[in-house]
Amino acid sequence: MKSLLKQLTETFGPSGYEENVRKLVRAEVKPLADEIKVDALGNLIARKRPSKFTKDTKRIMIAAHMDEIGLMASHIDGNGFVRFSNIGGVFGRYVLGGRVRFLNGVTGVLGYDRVEKVHETPALDKIFIDVGATSRKDCPVKVGDVAAFDRPFAEMGNRLVAKSMDDRVGVLVAIETLRALKSAPHDVYFVFTTQEEVGVRGATTSAFGIDPDLGIAIDVTPTADTPNALKMEMKLGKGPCVKIQDGGMIADARIVQWMIRTAEKNKIPYQREVLLFGSTDARAMQLARAGTPAGCLSIPVRYVHSPSEVVDYSDVQNSVKLLTALLRAKIDLN
């Protein structure tokens, strides 16, 4: 799994530009799924049919988003420096001195020249990208070109570090669950969604098309196990998180209890998650059509939306175990 996670995280795919990630995912899931299609917004939908359809067969949507946060060139000045707008939640405190790579292969360095305010976190409109140009004319970047953080995958013992763990680690969990799921009593749609970081757009349209009986998002959640962190429960190495609430949705209580029962029955460590901000594709599924019972399995991640997001490998492994256990058995939400 580490090799695939390295490939996924080192592939560039900001919101709206997920094509290369989708190609990689498609190659992995093609031999595993009964049906594959790409919809109008670029969502990759891999369907795993049940061996037998009955009146109890449920249509389940599993959503993991392929996109990552990024930058879009908005202005090139006379000296060739690039100003940008953010694609999703890009934070000034994480970007200074970092590198980005544009989809055309150009490398850039994120800079800020107010030396007298070196200890302050600048607003994004005060930061520029240096691509080695000396003028607007010789700048290899055009307005509208898209970039993402440029950092290699690395291992720190049992901890794995990369840009775009949000949500390539969720994509990995979905792929590995599909690989482990030789058969299931459900009609399962593994949806690798687009444009989650800019308003859960891909999940909104794919959930409308699939019209699932229930949905589960696979995403990351920030941890609270660093010095002076917010007062939350999520920690690295303590297992996948069962979301109860976040800033955009309240998980269906029946799904929460089903996930907890399954984890306990299979002796899989888990954490109860109440996130004080943010949301996931579960929100889009919950509001699809006339409404869908939805929940979320979250992988704990340190430094979310930074160029160096950190996961614990045991949490990744246990997330696959839990999602596989959830989908292998009949579902009773009573």
Q: Distance (Å, rounded) from C-alpha 37 to C-alpha 18?
A: 15
Number of alpha carbons in the 13 Å side-chain half-sphere of residue 68:
34
DSSP H helices in 70-133: 92-95
Compute φ and ψ for 206, nearest 5 degrees. Answer: -70, -35
- Report strand pairing: 107-111 vs 99-102: antiparallel
SS3 of the chain: helix, strand, coil, percent, to 5: 30, 30, 45
What region, left, alpha or beta, does residue 228 occupy, with left being phi > 0 and alpha being psi -120 to 50 degrees? left
The strand pairing partners of 8, in sequence order, are none
Contact criterion met (CB below 8 Å) for 43 and 19: no
Q: Distance (Å, rounded) from C-alpha 88 to C-alpha 69?
A: 5
Reduce the DSSP state of residue 24 to 3 states and report it.
helix
Query: Which candidate, 277, 272, 282, 261, places its Cα nearest to that of 234?
Result: 272
Q: Distance (Å, rounded) from C-alpha 184 to C-alpha 179?
A: 12
How many degrees, rounded to 5, is the angle at CA 242 between CA 182 and CA 313? 65
Catalytic residues: 196
